[in-house]
Each structure stands twice: as C-alpha cells, then as structure tokens.
Amino acid sequence: MQLQRIGLIGYGEVGKTFGTGLRERVAAIAAWDLTFVDPDSRVAATQRAHAAQSGVRACDAMAPLCAEAELLISAVTASNTMAVAQQAAAHLRPGTVFLDLNSASPATKQQAAACIDAAGGRYVEAGVMTSVPPYGIRVPMLLGGQGAAELAPLLTAWGMNATVVSDRLGVASAIKMCRSIMIKGLEALVIESYTTARRYGVEDHMVPTLQETFPGIDWQQVGGYFFSRVVQHGQRRAEEMRESANTVREAGFEPFMAAAIADKQQWVADQARAGVFDGVDTKNSAWQAYADRLIGSL
C-alpha cells in the first residue's frame, strides 16, 4: 500500500501533531477544520498560520480535502465522529482509506464504517491509547477492521506505533473506551477528592495516605497533571466519556460510573469556559492552584 497524500479532518491538538510529524514522510498533507470557516476570525487566522508554518495546506471545505486525499485521518471530538464520516462519504474518492482516530463506541465506529464503505472508501478504526503530546506520531494506537493489517505496515514505516488487534470493527474502540473509564474516572476522582480535601484543609493528611497505599505513583505530580489536562480538554473528555457510557450500554449494562465521569468532566469544562482558571499556568501549576480557583468560585 502506497499512500502519499494525506487529508486531516480536524486540526486540533491531534491534527497538528500528526500534520507536523508526518509532513516529511509523505508527498502532501492538507487539513480541514471548522475553525477555518470564518476568514475574519482570529482563531481561523491562527489555525491557518500554524498549518502554513507546518507545511500543511488549509482547505476551505471538506470536498476539496477529500478530492485529493488518498488517506483521510479523522481526529475530531467524539460527538462529531458520525457526522464527519457522513460528510466525508459524500466527497471521498473510491479506494480512499479512512483512518478514524476518534474516541467513539464500537457501535458508532461500525455505523461510521458503513457510511465510508458504502461510498467506496476503506474504513479502519484506531484506538489512541494515551495522550498524544508526549509521544507525537508515536502514540500507541490499536487498529481494527478488514483494512487494518494492510495499513499498519505503512504507518509503522512512517514512524508511527500502530498495532493490529482485530479484523473486526469495534474491538479496538472497545479496548479504548474501557480504558477511558478508568483513566478519565481517575481524573474525575482526583479532582473531586483533592478539591474537597483542600476545602476542608486536610490535603496534607489525605494525599500522603494515597502515597502510602500506592507508592509507585507521585500523587502530587499526578494531581497537577490531571487537573491541567481536564481544564484544557474537559469538553473533549466529557464527550469521550459519553461514548464510553454508550459502550457500557451497548454491552447491556447501565453506565452509572461512566455517566458520572462525563458529568464531572463537563462541569470542569464549564468552569474553564466561565474563566475560573484564567491565568493559571497549565504547564507548571500544582494542583492546589486549580483547586483554589474552584473553591474561590463557590
């Protein structure tokens, strides 16, 4: 398989990382993002400038992106997974490979695949198994679907870390979603526990007990990291957790925990949108800085 023209659907954190990391490995990379729409928008100008500096051509719509791409990489928020697949299906060329990186439930991925395949595309699902920034394009990904085995060697040759887990759609996403319940759940628990402990003034007593029980984890450092990630990406995480809840529901269970985690992530996202954390250094601040902002907003 030789794919030399990549189209990125979504130019957020993941899209930027993949665009920058793959640019020297292929003939051309283009991108389409909803933020590109308004030519007078400061966000649009910033996004387009980043693309230009990275050697990525910013497209004005989905159609021209699909017209040239041999490989489409979908990296949008979970709630847009299906809508993007439907839009791409209306424009993609027959034979185009559609790599879906989005955090969606097995059923959502299967429905997206049906749209792409019906249009003559070749759908491959991917479960991105951890945060992208520390790894770049080498972030561990699990691939699934009938085209996964053929695509994986090409991605590996580009320096990516792609492992085929099944030729059945839904397996990779099930692994990803079940993991997300644990990881995003731990984030939500830390935020609720730490902020409450801070409110009562007992954090210097409580956190060391976690260190004693789980000595392999630096609970102070983890606290700051979890707070910062949720403050920056809470909306995306909330949407992912709603898809995790759908995954649990599709398995026949009531998603009590996954739904509660989604609510907590959404609440933090709403606080961030309201400006509660404005001015907090998201790269260097300890968890106490975030907790104090939440307490101060009461």
Residue 2: per-residue pLDDT: 85
Residue 73: per-residue pLDDT: 98
Q: How far apart are CA 116 and CA 104, in angstroms?
A: 16
Mean pLDDT of 266-276: 98
Are 9 and 155 in a shared domain?
yes
Tokens 């996964």 identify what position? 148
pLDDT in tens, 257-266: 999 999 999 9
Residue 1: per-residue pLDDT: 74
Residue 89: per-residue pLDDT: 97
Three-point CA angle 20, 83, 3, nearest 5°: 40
Please report, for the domain that includes residue 13, its CATH number: 3.40.50.720
Are 233 and 131 in a shared domain?
no
Give the number of domains in the chain.
Answer: 2
Please report, for the domain that includes residue 232, its CATH number: 1.10.1040.10
pTM greater than 0.75:
yes
pLDDT in tens, 59-94: 999 999 999 999 999 999 999 999 999 999 999 999
The answer for residues whose C-beta is within 8 angstroms of residue 160's C-beta and 6 or more apart is: 137, 138, 141
Task: Give 96 or 45, the one with higher predicted confidence.
Answer: 96
Tokens, residue 54: 């990275």
Are 216 and 119 in a shared domain?
no
